[in-house]
Each structure stands twice: as structure tokens, then as C-alpha cells.
A and B are shown apart, each in its own frame.
Chain A
Amino acid sequence: MKKTGAQILCESLVKEGVEVIFGILGGSVLPIYDTLPQYPQLRHILVRHEQAAAHAADGYARITHRAGVCLATSGPGATNLVTGIANAYMDSVPLVAITGQVASPFIGKDAFQEIDITGITLPVVKHSYLVTDPADLAGVVKEAFFIAQTGRPGPVLIDIPRDVQVNEAEFVCPDKVNLPGYKLKPRVNAAQIIRAAELINAAERPVVIGGRGIIISQAYQEFREFVEKSQIPVVTTLLGIGSFPENHVLSFGMLGMHGMAYANMAVQNADLIIAIGMRFDDRATGDTSTFAPKARILHIDIDPAEIGKNLCVDIPIVGDIKNVLTTLNKRIDIKEHVAWISQINQWKHEYPLVDDREDAGLLPQYVIRRIYELTEGKAIMVTGVGQNQMWAAQHFQYVEPNSFVSSGGLGTMGFELPAAMGVKIAVPDSVVWSIAGDGGFQMTIQEMATISQEDIAIKIAIINNTALGMVRQWQELFYRRRYVDTLLWNPDFVKVSEAYGIPALKVTRKAEVVPAIHSALDHSGPFLIDFNVEREENVYPMIAPGAGLSSILTLPKVSKDSSF
């Protein structure tokens, strides 16, 4: 039976198991929107800006491990998606972005709202399609989901001209994809496994660095078995948070620029680094020439191009983390590293994370810690980038798998609000907190309307220091406290929230924190709290940009007003 391109698209999405589409309309997607009501299985969430559609689909995908879908019109609709697509690309998130395009005869004519979106997105997609015939659509959609969701996941763009949406073709759902150039899950090299096991068994001061690859591969069990059998202390990358329970005796927090001092010290003193599903990002390694100077490096990743990209490794293993660890676990010895672990515990004792100071006013660390306590650590925390992100990473103890959703690689302000929408829609029974800075919140603030309209019951915490906090911190530390355009005038966020129909509270003192969080949690719908925290509070510990992981800056003992 013949169907229109729009119908073929919708049928194909249903076949892929899509339940939610995040999008906003425009001229070049009208045929798709006109067709949507025929497919009630496809829930459409109407966002207020296309960037939010991509971030929401991103959040949804991180939690479900299935491709999130976003939909936008041609031209500005499509370009507005780009930040969201890039964000998903950097963090290896499966995403299928569908854009309308002007009708085929107008392509290349600079027609109204025409833009070469497949060209613009080229460096930030895993793959992309410009569909020229409705008969190709079913195959393209199947390939797009397959590519987005397999191997190292990533975003795939499908650009569909208006006439392709309208014209009819026979709907034939292909039963398999034909991708001769797409290499999947390489067979794990047995010899490398044996060499790796030898290295692991012989190591005296080994450290595991857990990355997001463990979460993508859902290898929580295998990872835990590996760690417990070998008794190797674990640190994680920012996006590796949620790969291993942080209340475990072998968990030593996050490494990197704002990692725990003891995590970085463990790495710098290790004789073996076992890097699993991570990519040696500069925020994690600091200066690579001084990174883990005493260690051999074993790198396990599904992407062969990550091996040796940022630093030389001694033993690479390319493969899906779950498969690799299953094989490796059979080869490693039951070990103990009592002296080594007690050494790291000693560092942890000497350089603890502190979530409050008596002489201080309302500290952001204090806020995060109370959210942790009052949710009993069961919440999913969603952050954008900056100080709020680092405090959320440091002061909430992540025990549940995949409970931290954050913009890591791209570092996108404003990710937190729409991504939290996507997360909440994926797991409506979970408590979802969007942790925003006052700067980032205003980058996607318009989604408050979406949240209200769809009654998405997320809890929003604005860590409001009336500044672009992380940049202000850098200006303080590296530009002699010359605050150029980092201090913000803000609207009354409580009134703003109420105007959007979302109840809200302002918190200015420590004593108000717990009652406010209770109010948010007790309320069945969305709720916002504007935490007015100390303006010049900094994130510590810190490794200065470009420095090595051994150069740890901590809270200065001197008064903040003294110049340095």
C-alpha cells in the first residue's frame, strides 16, 4: 500500500519503538505534524526552542539507552538544534534528529528558511542523511537508529525535504540494514586480554578510571565484579559518575580538574591505570605529560580511534566494555591491596571534601548535600556546566547506576532544564532534580512553559550566586579578580517561576534549605527553589588549566579579601 513520506516516517519510528518526540513546528515539517495524530503511539512534547528538543531527547536517551528523537523545521529550526546535536556527539549519546527541508526544487536556491543542515552538522554527527525519495525513508530511518544506538553511540541527522514528506511511495520495511562501511563491535583480542590480566595481577598500586562507556554498555555488574575481585580502587571521570556506587569502600570519587584531591593523588601515585570507557579528556588528565607518571596504562574502549589519541597507552583493548570485562574477569586473580587502599584512605582523611564552613553563609555545597540527604540519594541529578555541575558532582553521593546526567564534553550551559525534562519523561517515577546556575538557567528558561504545559514534575534548584560562577572563579584566580561581565543582574526567579505556573521558593539562609527541599519533594508537580548562595564561593579542589594532576589548589586559608 502506498503511503506518504510523512506516514512512512511515522510508521518507521513506531517500528523502532519510539514513544516520545521532542520538537517544535515550522513550515517545512507541517506534513509530518499533520500526520502525527494518526500515530497516537508517538507522544509529541512541544518545546519552546529547538535546542531544548535536542537536549530533552539527549536526557531521555541517556536514561533509556535508546535513541532520543527530536524534530525541527528547516533553516533556523535546524540550526537551533546544532548545539544539542554537538552536545550528544561529545558525550556519545544516541540521538536521531529529524529536520524538515525546503522542497527539493528549492534546494540550492537560498529559498526561505533553507539551510544546508547536513553540511553544518557534518563534524558533530555520527552520520547524516538528506532523503531525496520517500521510497528511501524506511531504510534511512532503520539505518539511522541502528547507527545511533550501536557501537559508540552518537547523533544521526535525517533531513527530509517537504515534497519527500508529501509524495507517496510503497512502504516496505527493510528487515536488515546494508552498511558495508560500518564496523561493529570488534572481536576482543584474546592475546591482549591475557597481557592485560598479567599486568593487573602484577600491579601493586593499581587504579581504575571508570568512564561513561561503562554506563553506555550497562556493564555495572561486570565492572563491580572486576573491581571487587581485584580489589582495585576506583575513581571515575565526570561522566563516569554512576558507573560504580560511591558508597562502596573501593570508590574514591572523581578525578580531574575539580576531582577529589585523593582521587588525583591515587592516579599520580599508581603503578597501573586501568582506563575503562573513557577518553582521557583534558579536564580529567590535566597536563598529559605529567599524568600518572609512574603508571603503565591499560585502555579499554569500544572506539579504536580513542586508543592513543590523547596519550600513549601500554595495552589497548578495543571492544564493548561488557564483553571485555566478562572475559577479563575470568583471567584476573583474587587480590588484596590493603596497604595501597589505606594509603588512599589516608589522603582522603587529610584532604576531605567539605560541604559547609561555620563562618560562611549559605554555601552551594551545603545545598547539594541536603538534596542528597533528603532524597536518600535516590534522585537523578541533571546539570549543565560550571560550578553548579561540579558541586553536584562532588557533594551528592551517587549510588544508583546512571543517576548523574550532565553535559560533559561540550559543557553546555542550559542543558540541565530540558535534559531533566527528557529524563523525567523517560522515568516518570524517579525523582529528577535539575541543578542549574543562575546563568545557565536563563539560557533555556523558556522551557518552564513546556514543563508547565506537559506537567513534567521535575524539581529545579537554581544555585544562584548572581554570577557566571565558574568564569568568575577563573577571573578571580587567574585574572587578578578582574570581574569582566561575569556578575549578573537577575530577575526574581520566584516570580518568573510563578508566572510560568510553577510554584517556587526563595532560600537565603541555611535554616531554610531543608524545609524548602521538603516542600519541593512533597509537591506532586514541578517545583523551583532559588538558592541564593555566597557569590564568591569557589569550587575546590582545583587543578589550574594546563597544570598536572599533582598541582592541587585547595581553599586558601587566608581571608578572601586579601589580594593575591
Chain B
Amino acid sequence: MLAVKHTLVALVEDKPGVLNRISSLFRRRNFNIDSIAVGSSEQPGFSRMTVVVRGDSAEVEQVRKQLDKLVNVVRVSDITYVAIVTRELALIKVKATAATRSEIAQIIDIFRANIIDVAANSLTIEVTGNEEKVDSLIKLLRGFGIREVVRTGRVALTRGNA
């Protein structure tokens, strides 16, 4: 069986302990969560969650069914094989001197990223995109010396009907 990255999206009740219930189910089934992103949804009182895990399809389907049984989970789908849009946000703090600042600015321009904080010896950059785009920007900036990176993990929605 092939372990591929699966994207699960869940609509869940916004109640205490829900995240714990969900993450503990993954732990019990021996899944390592690549990323998890939670925030409010279009419906008051409900959150939408995007979880990325690696596993073969049968294993992921089993954990999806177990998640669906949780009382606080309204709906959960594996959207790996359907048309989706995905994005991730990253903040990157990179070393910058007077000499390198403009070169960094050029790179981030190509990536349509933004500088959101400027200090004497660093820049903080905000970039949005799919994970590959974020990965390649980080790779390019590594030469300048990266101080800190924080990533939100993938958020995903299925595409609208054309």
C-alpha cells in the first residue's frame, strides 16, 4: 500500500476538547499529523479543520470513518482525489543587511510575498501559496540565513462547480 499525503477537511462543532478528540484519534490509529489548521467556518458555532496525514487510502478511510463517528464532528471528507484549492501561509524571518536587503526584496517580489517587518538586521516576510511555493521560497532565502519560520499548514476547500 502506498503512503501518500491525504487532505481531510472536517466541519466540527466549536466546543472545548474537540481538537483533542480529533488529534487523539489520529494518535490511536498511529498516524502522524503533517499539519492541522483550525478556524471558524461560515456557520457560527462551527469550525472547519484541514488535516494533512500520510497513509494508504484504506487506512485513511478507516480513520475518516472513526472521525465521522465523533459526536462533535458534523462532516469529514477526504478530498485528496477531488479538485481542490489549497493554500498555506508562512512567516519567515531572514537575516538582512544593507547589502542583501534589495536582493531579498527582488526574490520575494517574484513570489508575490510581502515584507511585513523591517529591523536593522532582519526582514520578516509573509508568503501565501501552496506548500511547494512556500518550500521553494524558504529554500532560496536559506542562503541569507533564516532565523525563524512559522507555517500554518495547509487549508483546503473543494473547488466550486464551473
Chain A residues close to B by CB (< 8 Å): 118-119, 122-123, 126-127, 130, 147, 179-183, 303-305, 307-309
Contacts and interface: CB of A to CB of B under 8 A. Distances in A.
B17 A308 contact: no
Contacts of A126: 71
B62 A181 contact: no
A305 B74 CA distance: 16
A123 B68 CA distance: 15
A182 B71 contact: yes
B28 interface: yes
Interface in B125-152: none
Closest 7 CB pairs of A and B: A305-B65, A181-B74, A127-B71, A181-B73, A182-B71, A305-B66, A180-B74
Contacts of A182: 71
B56 to A, nearest CB: 13
B70 interface: yes
A305 B28 CA distance: 15
B21 interface: yes
Nearest to A147: B71
B16 A308 contact: no
A126 B69 CA distance: 9
Nearest to B43: A180
Interface string B11-37: 011001100110010001000000000
B28 A123 contact: yes
B73 to A, nearest CB: 5
B12 A308 contact: no
Interface of B: 12-13, 16-17, 20-21, 24, 28, 46, 58, 61-62, 65-66, 68-75
B131 to A, nearest CB: 29
30 contacts: A118-B17, A119-B20, A122-B20, A122-B21, A126-B71, A130-B16, A130-B17, A180-B13, A180-B74, A181-B12, A181-B70, A181-B71, A181-B72, A181-B73, A181-B75, A182-B71, A183-B68, A183-B69, A303-B69, A304-B68, A305-B62, A305-B65, A305-B66, A305-B68, A305-B69, A307-B65, A308-B58, A308-B61, A308-B62, A309-B62
A154 B143 CA distance: 56
A308 B64 CA distance: 13
A180 B46 CA distance: 10
Contacts of B66: 305
Contacts of B21: 122
A292 to B, nearest CB: 19
Nearest to B58: A308
Contacts of A118: 17
A123 B25 CA distance: 8
Contacts of A309: 62
A237 to B, nearest CB: 21
Contacts of B71: 126-127, 147, 179, 181-182
Contacts of B17: 118, 130
Nearest to B17: A118
Nearest to B69: A305
Given A305-B62, A305-B69, A308-B61, 17 more contacts: A118-B17, A119-B20, A122-B20, A122-B21, A123-B28, A127-B70, A127-B71, A130-B16, A180-B46, A181-B71, A182-B71, A183-B69, A303-B69, A304-B68, A305-B66, A305-B68, A307-B65
Contacts of B72: 181
Nearest to A303: B69
Of listed B16, B68, B71, B74, residue having the most chain A CB within 10 A = B71
Given A181-B71, A303-B69, A123 B24 contact: yes
Nearest to A143: B71
A307 B69 CA distance: 13
A126 B21 CA distance: 11
Contacts of B12: 181
Contacts of A127: 70-71
A379 B66 CA distance: 37
A68 to B, nearest CB: 20
A80 to B, nearest CB: 22
Contacts of B62: 305, 308-309
Given A181-B73, A304-B68, A305-B65, A122 B24 contact: yes
Nearest to B64: A305
B159 to A, nearest CB: 25
A183 B28 CA distance: 22
A101 to B, nearest CB: 14
Contacts of A304: 65, 68
Given A119-B20, A308-B58, A181 B13 contact: yes
B135 to A, nearest CB: 35
A183 B68 CA distance: 8
Nearest to A305: B65
A179 B13 CA distance: 9
Nearest to A180: B74
A303 B28 CA distance: 18
A130 B16 CA distance: 9
Contacts of B24: 122-123
Contacts of B74: 180-181
A235 B154 CA distance: 49
A181 B12 CA distance: 8
